[in-house]
Amino acid sequence: MSPMEVLVVFADESDRAALSGLDGCKAHCIDAGIDHWKPTPGFDILEYVERCRRFLQAHRVDGVVCFHDLGDLVAAILAQEFGLPGTSIESAFLCLHKYYTRQREPAPIRCEALSLWDPHPQVSNYPCFLKPPWLKLSLLGFRLDGAADLARALALARREYPGWQRQYLPLFEAAVDHDQYPLAVADVFLVEELVEGQQVTVEGWVESGRVHLWAITDTNAYPGRSRAFDNFSLPSRHSPAIQRRLVEDSKRIIQRLGFEHGFFNAEFWCQPDRLVLIEVNGRAAASFDGLYQRCLGASVFEAATRLACGHAPAALPQVGGVVGGQFNFITFASGWAHELIDLDTARLHPDVSLFVAEGDWVEPVSDLGSVLAQVELFGSDYDQIKQQADRLRRLLLRQPEASPW
Phi, psi for residue 104 in degrees, rounded to 5: -95, -10
Burial of 272 (C-beta count, 10 Å sphere; 0-12/13-18/19+)? exposed
| β-strands 4-9, 63-66 pairing | parallel
Residue that finishes a domain, picked among 95, 112, 146:
95
State whether 212 and 331 are in the same domain.
Answer: yes
DSSP 224-280: TT---EEEEEES--S-HHHHHHHHHHHHHHHHHTT--SEEEEEEEEEETTEEEEEEE
State whether 206 and 242 are in the same domain.
Answer: yes
| Residue-averaged pLDDT of the chain | 95
Residue that finishes a domain, picked among 167, 193, 219:
193
State whether 110 and 243 are in the same domain.
Answer: no
- What is the model's pTM? 0.95
The pLDDT of 351-359, averaged and rounded, is: 96
State whether 180 and 213 are in the same domain.
Answer: no
Per the structure, the complete domain to which residue 80 belongs is given by: 4-95
Looking at residue 65, which CATH number applies to its domain? 3.40.50.20
- pLDDT, tens digit, 9 for 90 and up, residues 59-76: 999 999 999 988 999 999
Whether 82 has a pLDDT exceeding 60, the answer reads: yes
State whether 313 and 361 are in the same domain.
Answer: yes
Identity at 385, one-letter amino acid code: I
State whether 68 and 133 are in the same domain.
Answer: no
pLDDT value at residue 227 = 81
The number of residues making up the chain comes to: 405
pLDDT value at residue 241 = 97
SS3 216: strand
| Torsion over CA: 29, 35, 40, 45 (sign) | positive
What is the rounded end-to-end Cα distance, in angstroms, of the chain?
53
State whether 174 and 227 are in the same domain.
Answer: no
In 290-308, which positions are buried (b, 16+ CB within 10 angstroms) versus exposed (e)?
A: bbbbbbbebbbbbbbbbbb
SS3 106: coil
* CA dist., res. 114 & res. 141, Å (int): 14
State whether 82 and 147 are in the same domain.
Answer: no
pLDDT > 90 fraction of the chain, expressed in percent and rounded: 88
State whether 132 and 32 are in the same domain.
Answer: no
| Torsion over CA: 298, 303, 305, 306 (sign) | positive
**With contact defined as beta carbons under 8 Å apart, do 300 and 289 qualify?**
yes
pLDDT value at residue 38 = 83
DSSP 118-184: -SS---SSSSEEEE-SS-STTTT-EEESSHHHHHHHHHHHHHHHHHHHHHHHHHHHHHS-TTT-GGG
- pLDDT, tens digit, 9 for 90 and up, residues 229-264: 999 999 999 999 999 999 999 999 999 999 999 999
- pLDDT, tens digit, 9 for 90 and up, residues 314-324: 999 998 899 99
Phi, psi for residue 193 in degrees, rounded to 5: -50, 135
Whether 1 has a pLDDT exceeding 80, the answer reads: no
Of 36-45, 220-229, 264-273, the one with minimum mean pLDDT is: 220-229
**With contact defined as beta carbons under 8 Å apart, do 375 and 348 qualify?**
no
pLDDT value at residue 136 = 80
pLDDT value at residue 41 = 85
State whether 63 and 126 are in the same domain.
Answer: no
State whether 266 and 184 are in the same domain.
Answer: no
pLDDT value at residue 367 = 87
Tell me which residue of 320, 333, 341 sits closest to 396, measured CA to CA. 341
pLDDT value at residue 139 = 87
* CA dist., res. 233 & res. 219, Å (int): 7
* CA dist., res. 148 & res. 146, Å (int): 6
Whether 11 has a pLDDT exceeding 70, the answer reads: yes
pLDDT value at residue 223 = 80
Q: How many domains does the chain have?
A: 3
- pLDDT, tens digit, 9 for 90 and up, residues 166-212: 999 999 999 999 999 999 999 999 999 999 899 999 999 999 999 99
Q: Which residues on neighbouring strands pair with residue 271, listed in sequence order?
A: 274
Whether 18 has a pLDDT exceeding 70, the answer reads: yes
State whether 189 and 202 are in the same domain.
Answer: no
Whether 225 has a pLDDT exceeding 70, the answer reads: no
Give the HSE-up count for residue 342: Cα atoms under 13 Å, Cβ half-sphere: 12
Looking at residue 345, which CATH number applies to its domain? 3.30.470.20
Residue that finishes a domain, picked among 138, 162, 193:
193
